[in-house]
């Protein structure tokens, strides 16, 4: 494990993005219960870790993050950068009261945002596509992850309503 290979634009990009993202996280009025907030922060972190170490891992090696194949501190910070995005996803899902009619547009919107963020990350040399990887694969990943997140959040809401009904 190393801190970073060279401290340059990708590290600066990660640090600036972390400050912006976590400032927004703390500024936003709290509308989601604390335990659900904590769960979705970990959900975002785990999703980034899982895909990076699976698709970006040794044998598949479809993409890499930051400067080297070694585990860098900047890699760990990258996963912390992903954590609040899962929270924002469910936060605005709740805020806009996304339902059956609007969920497709909501997920499509987040997928476009994800792709744009990924292209910015490529430009800042945080993300590097490997041979054979293209942005179309990212569309599949974003659609899959966001659909799972939305369905899972709906499942939690149903369970919470059920518990609430049983208590009342």
> Which residues sit at the interface with another protein, rule CB under 8 A?
1, 33-36, 38-39, 42-43, 45-46, 49-50, 53-54, 57-59, 70-71, 152, 155-156, 159
Token match 């990258």: residue?
78
Question: Tokens for 11?
Answer: 């590290």
Q: Are 114 and 142 in contact (CB under 8 A)?
A: yes
Closest to another protein by CB, 101 or 164:
164
- Tell the smallest beta-carbon distance from residue 10 to another protein (Å): 20
Closest to another protein by CB, 28 or 115:
28
- Tell the smallest beta-carbon distance from residue 53 to another protein (Å): 5
Closest to another protein by CB, 119 or 159:
159
- Tell the smallest beta-carbon distance from residue 25 to another protein (Å): 16
Q: Which residues contact 15 (CB under 8 A, 6 or more apart)?
A: 77
Closest to another protein by CB, 115 or 157:
157
Q: Which of 15, 82, 87 is nearest to 48 (CA)?
A: 82
- Tell the smallest beta-carbon distance from residue 110 to another protein (Å): 20
Closest to another protein by CB, 55 or 124:
55
CA dihedral for 108, 46, 21, 68, sign (positive or negative): negative
72 DSSP 8-state letter? B
Q: Which of 124, 92, 140, 139 is nearest to 12 (CA)?
A: 124
- Tell the smallest beta-carbon distance from residue 59 to another protein (Å): 5
Q: Are 150 and 107 in contact (CB under 8 A)?
A: yes
């Amino acid at each position: 494990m190393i801190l970073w290979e060279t401290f340059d634009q990708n590290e600066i990009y990660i640090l600036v993005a972390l400050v912006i993202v976590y400032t927004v996280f703390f500024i936003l009025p709290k509308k989601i219960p604390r335990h659900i907030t904590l769960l979705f922060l970990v959900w975002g972190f785990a999703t980034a870790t899982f895909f990076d170490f699976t698709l970006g891992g040794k044998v598949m090696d479809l993409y890499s993050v930051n400067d080297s194949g070694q585990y860098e501190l900047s890699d760990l910070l990258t996963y912390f950068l992903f954590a609040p995005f899962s929270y924002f996803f469910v936060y605005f899902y709740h805020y806009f009261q996304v339902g059956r009619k609007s969920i497709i547009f909501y997920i499509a919107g987040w997928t476009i945002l994800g792709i744009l963020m990924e292209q910015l990350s490529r430009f800042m040399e945080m993300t590097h596509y490997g041979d054979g990887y293209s942005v179309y694969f990212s569309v599949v990943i974003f659609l899959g992850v966001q659909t799972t997140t939305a369905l899972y959040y709906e499942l939690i809401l149903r369970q919470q309503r059920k518990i609430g009904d049983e208590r009342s």
